[in-house]
Structure 1
């Protein structure tokens, strides 16, 4: 069985995997989640958050032969973490799994990739902070953006935990190294995603081997919409 590290997306934290962790453990895996800087219980000021500091938090959490799953924006820091671990001789990642995540293009920031998509459904819900350092999601639009197919109460639970997202970290261009290229990778598309257009998820994986790309019929939050199904799919990927 595998050691699985779960990495959250924009404005989320380790809390979003509360239902997925026990589902993975029931299948015999060890599963854990982290808060990247300024998210969840991490108290780093949002002004101090960088792409590299987010990636370093992942490197610091690696065990031996850890499977790293990144959700949404988490695709950027997990890729950078794989390169950083390789650069320092600490490559401990067994596989990268991108869960309806940005699979980075060399020389692009996440914001640039988002703008390259055919449409940007999340932007209507984005509320930029007065100081320009971060953004939040309009509470009235949180459910439609992230959780429209999730059980009753999930949107309220999330609203109590969502935090401001650093803009600078998502405007930082990534320079891809050799580390992540040497690691097996898989992608899970979400066909009813209202945050990252499903068709753009297809674009990001158009050159990937078909055997490494999977799909779920859910929203942007399969860890709440169908945690058992997501756990079963991850288990299948790791046994394949």
Structure 2
């Protein structure tokens, strides 16, 4: 069985994997999640967050043969981590995540998508350093197919997201290219358009691309189904 490290997306934290961790453990895996800098229980000021500091928090949490799953913007720091620590990650799994293009930032890729549905739910802070999600719009954007109570749980935990970290253009190296990788498309996603998820993974081997019929938050919408799919990926 596998050692699995779960990496969150924008404004989230380790807390979002509350239901997925026990589902993976029930299948025999070791699963844990981290808070990247300034999220969850991490007290780093949001103004100090960088793409590399996020990547290094992932590297610091690796075990001997760890599979790393990144959700949404988490695709950027997990890719960077694989480049900074070549050979340390057993497999990368992109969960409705940005699979970075060379010399692009997260914001560049968001703009490159054919539409930007998440923008209507984003509230930029007055200082221009971070953003959060509009409480009234978060369910439709992120949790529309999730169980009752999910939205309230999330709103109690969501935290500001560094803009600078998402403005940083990534330079891709050999580390992530030499790491096995899989992509899970979420086909009812109202944050990252499903058609853009197809674009980002269209040249990947077909056996490394999977789909779920969920929103942007399958770890809440269908944790058992997501765990079963991860288990299938790791047994292939």
Asked whether the two chains share a fold, i.e. TM above 0.5, the reply is yes
The yes-or-no answer on 1:217 pairing with 2:213 is: yes
Instruction: Identify the residue that residue 75 of structure 1 maps to in structure 2.
Output: 75
Aligned match for 2:199, one of 203, 212, 217: 203
Match for 2:95 among 86, 92, 99? 99
Which residue matches 1:64?
Answer: 64
Is residue 55 from structure 1 mapped to residue 51 from structure 2 by the alignment? no
The answer on 1:183 being equivalent to 2:179 is yes
Query: SS state of the match for residue 95, structure 1?
Result: strand
Q: Does 1:25 align with 2:21?
A: no
Structure 2 Cα separation of the partners of residues 239 and 19 of structure 1: 21
Counterparts of 2:32 and 2:121, CA distance in 1? 30
**Candidates 115, 119, 132, aligned match of 1:123:** 119
Measure the CA separation in 2 of the matches of 1:182 and 1:65. 15
- In structure 2, stretches of 5+ residues that fail to align are none
Matched pairs, number: 236
Instruction: Give 3-state SS (helix, strand or coil) of 2:127's partner.
Output: coil
Runs of 4+ in 1 over 3 A off after TM superposition: none
* TM-score (structure 2 length as normaliser): 1.00
Q: Using the alignment, how far apart are the partners of 1:181 and 1:209 within structure 2?
A: 13
- Rounded to whole Å, the distance in 1 between the matches of 2:159 and 2:132 is 7
SS in 2 for 1:23: helix
Aligned to 2:10: 10
User: Alignment RMSD, CA only?
Assistant: 0.4
1:122 aligns to what SS in structure 2?
helix
Q: What secondary structure, in the 3-state scheme, does the structure 1 residue paired with 2:37 have? A: coil
